[in-house]
Chains A and B, each alone.
Chain A
Amino acid sequence: MLLYQFQVVYKIYCILIPKFCFLCGFDAEEDLVGSLASMSSNEMIKSFRRFGNALSEFFQQLRPWHKSLKIIGAEFGTSVLSYFVFLKWLLNFNIFSFLINFGFITIPQFLAAEPNNLSFTGLELLTGAGYFQQTVLYYGFYTNATISKVENGPSYNMQLAYIFTVGIYFVICFLILLFSMARFFSSNFRLTKAFSVNASKLLCTWDFNITNEEAVKLQQKNLLTQIKVQTTGGTQLMCASHSVGDLVVHTNLCSGLFHYRQSAMLVLPVIVSLLNTLVPFLFSWLGHLEKFQSPGQHIYVTIVRNIILKISIVGILCYYWLNIVATSESQCWETLVGQDIYRLVLVDFIFCLLGSFFGEFLRRIIGTTVCVSLGLPEFDIGRNVLDLIYAQTLTWIGILFSPLLPGIQMIAFLIVFFVKKVSLMRNCQPPREVWRTAQMTTSFIFLLFCPSFLGVLSLFFHTLRLKPSEECGPFRGLPSMYAAVDEWIQMLERYTVSKWVVWIYHNLIASELFFFIISTAVLILTYLYWQIIQARKTMIKLLHNQIINAGQDKKFLLQKLQREQRAKRRSSSALGGRGQQVSLTAHLLLFNCLGQVHGAPPAVQTACCFGKRLSLRFNLNSCYLTPDSKRMQCESSLIICSRLEFSLDIEKPLPSPDIIYGYETSRKHS
């Protein structure tokens, strides 16, 4: 049954690879084969590197919208750019899902399709019902048979294909999201809390992307305002308590939604989208009324409220679908749910476009003609990104019930990108408030993973255990969708070749003991890593203190050196006549600000006695400190002919501007 799939994939592979080589300008395979035969290993490595470079060039050519992104970044900065980059990234999930669903589920279905007897009226595009009900768009149309074109040839089990395609897609999404989140988290969050506000504002936040003169002036003005506010010590009042107000709003919304579920088809999606669009405005208006400690807090609170709103809406809808529609006695509940989701996605898309029209275009007209004090609107990054996450969540929920939904969402995202870009360029001004791009992007990816994707995953597993409808879909007649996999495993048990698959299934996937062991191991590892993090934090504090101490030692030594030099210049006592021997020990203290110097003690290079003056020359060229000791002493005893007046010349090694040395002398008369 899987053989058919493998054949298809293999054929595609064979067709694509030569095209790929052609496209990336990598000269014909014949060259490669011929030259491989007579090559030294060096050249092999070079040709592999060239192949790698050609591959990366090929993928870079596929990079769409490079110019658009550059223009957006140039005019509005990195913060607004992050929304469009996020949109582009989400598009990839939909493209991937559409391709594999179309390839593995829809194309075989075309071969075994039943004729569609319904008529097409234009209204179907909006409601998703009617003609579309009997097309590949919905779960209900798919057959539960094993498709085979040729008698006794390879057959294609639709049930397994359906469940495995969707399942493997979710697993791959899970891995991609997990790794992206980990990567962003590790590069954007730091262990130590100390965040030097002023220093980073001055040296790290200037956005080099911006090349538009007006935007640059605006950015400079923003920085000026921030510094002025800080130096004059602006204070803000504490925020009022918002939690009670939030709860009231949310419970009202939830109960309202429950009442509307029985109404006509399009009313539910319209109401949901209206809620999604209008309530955030209510929240930001509330936010303006309340006083916050900082503008950043205002943004955070508004975003959290929007998140809670969207989670409540999606939660209620899912509860309704899975507990009420699924257990009702309707004919094909999966198709009904699919249609609901289709309508929701479509109306959400229309409202997004309308929101852009009203929110930005009309607001600009109002801001420039009627009420000039309002000014141009700003692009609300938080609300738009949350809309994207909501749309993607709906798509993920709908994949099981409507396999081609990602294709529709893909087209929607493309149109949204274009519309938002045009609206942004024409209507908006660059953002005035500080938007911590890296942290916000990490938070959004985390939001995409944690409530959104994990919620969808748990929904998926719950749906697998529901009873599918009797008359339609690939799982008709089975007690649950998951039963298809059980049946397949039982069938595999009959063949000895595939006994290992059965073993893996029984002992690893379906066994609770295995998951218990894995969970315990993961928890232990997590605890170990947590302890390592704590130890590293302590280490960082110790090293930080060490650096500060080193700096203070350096200052102390410099001052001591200066004092000694002044004292020596003032005092000059003669010792005696000739023949007096004085041994002079010079302790040389070598010091570096980080204590990183290491090596051997300096040797005395020359010592000359000019009658009254002794000159000692230490050669520091091969001199370093050991890592443990910050000071190093070297002694040199010399016999002085007569007078005490001496000078100490120390030849500095080049370039170490921060090796500082001081000396102490002790005299012994003999």
Chain B
Amino acid sequence: MGNKQTIFTDEQLDAYQDCTFFTRKEILRLHGRYYEMAPNVVPMDYTKDPDVKLPMQLIINMPELKENPFKERIVSSFSEDGEGSLSFNDFVDMFSVLSEMAPRELKAIYAFKIYDFNTDNFICKADLEKTLNKLTREELTAEEITLVCEKVIEEADMDGDGKLGFADFENMISKAPDFLSTFHIRI
């Protein structure tokens, strides 16, 4: 308790508290989780801002993410170098957006990135098909998949370009009140 920790400087902790939805204790706990994934690589002393990234393989084996069908997409959406490796800042960012205090708009932005498999800033039919396959363990027939994806685009696409832009996605999210509570990972 108090200012006895030596992992971060006070300014770093204040900065983390301002930029994320976590308190000091939670940030230190997150650092503990990050450290125990790779104790040889992650330093205990973050005061000098070390440039350490953990690869995707380690992160998607966390118990909170292990069974999630979208785990690779989640990790790559938050990774700055695009290859899926997360630095500690990215790690904290990820759980901050997925925490229960993040507002709906912020969650919508990242949900859009997660479902956009080919990262073209649109959720096109191929993205929807991949999402559906992940959600149903690929047990639907091809006609059913196409039927569902067509219905989805018909319902949600407002400007008629055959794919969902961010505005369409956000509009759909605003009508689904459960989104805030389901798009949430507790750590």
Interface set of A (CB-CB < 8 Å, partner B): 25, 27, 46, 49-50, 53, 56-57, 60-61, 69-70, 73-74, 78, 82, 187-190, 192, 194-200, 202-213, 216-217, 220, 223-224, 227-228, 231, 436-439, 544, 547-548, 550-552, 554-555, 593-594, 657-658
Contacts and interface: CB of A to CB of B under 8 A. Distances in A.
A217 B98 CA distance: 22
Given A57-B25, A216-B68, 15 more contacts: A53-B23, A53-B24, A189-B177, A200-B172, A203-B152, A203-B172, A204-B179, A207-B182, A208-B184, A211-B63, A212-B67, A220-B135, A231-B148, A547-B158, A658-B161
Nearest to A438: B177
B186 interface: yes
A554 B180 contact: no
Contacts of A188: 177
16 contacts: A25-B1, A25-B2, A60-B26, A190-B175, A198-B148, A199-B151, A202-B132, A202-B135, A203-B152, A203-B173, A212-B67, A216-B68, A220-B135, A224-B139, A547-B159, A551-B160
Interface string B3-30: 1000000000010011000011110000
Interface string B130-147: 011001110110001001
A21 to B, nearest CB: 11
A438 B178 contact: yes
A438 B67 contact: no
Contacts of B156: 196, 199
Contacts of B111: 203
A60 B123 CA distance: 38
B135 A548 contact: no
B131 to A, nearest CB: 6
A531 B115 CA distance: 39
Contacts of A552: 160
A386 B66 CA distance: 35
B51 interface: no
A72 B3 CA distance: 34
A554 B159 contact: yes
A187 B147 CA distance: 32
A50 B14 contact: yes
A227 B23 contact: no
Contacts of A211: 63-68
B155 interface: yes
Contacts of A555: 160-161
A223 to B, nearest CB: 6
A548 B159 contact: yes
B61 interface: no
Contact of A200 (B3, B160, B176): B176
Contacts of B147: 231
A516 B73 CA distance: 60
A70 B186 CA distance: 6
Contacts of B152: 196, 198-199, 202-203
Contacts of A195: 175
A60 B25 contact: yes
Contacts of B70: 206
Contact of A220 (B26, B66, B136, B169): B136
Nearest to A81: B181
Contacts of B124: none
**Size class of the contact patch on chain B:** 35 or more
Contacts of B175: 190, 192, 194-196, 200
A190 B172 contact: no
A204 B111 CA distance: 9
B92 interface: no
B167 interface: yes
Closest 4 CB pairs of A and B: A551-B159, A551-B160, A196-B155, A438-B177
A548 B178 contact: no
Contacts of B144: 227-228, 231
B172 A208 contact: no
A484 to B, nearest CB: 46
A189 B25 CA distance: 35
B128 interface: yes
A206 B135 contact: yes
Given A57-B25, A204-B179, A593 B186 contact: no
Contacts of B161: 551, 554-555, 593, 658
B38 interface: no
Contacts of B64: 211
Q: Choose among A199, A206, A211, A552 the residue with the greatest number of B CB atoms under 10 Å from its CB.
A: A199
Contact of B2 (A27, A82, A197, A227): A27
B68 A56 contact: no
B109 to A, nearest CB: 14
Given A209-B186, A210-B67, A204 B160 contact: no
A480 to B, nearest CB: 46
Contacts of A551: 158-161
B153 to A, nearest CB: 8
B174 interface: yes
A444 to B, nearest CB: 14
Contacts of A227: 136, 140, 144, 148
A593 B159 contact: yes
A551 B14 CA distance: 46
B177 A439 contact: yes
Given A61-B25, A203-B115, A208 B136 contact: no
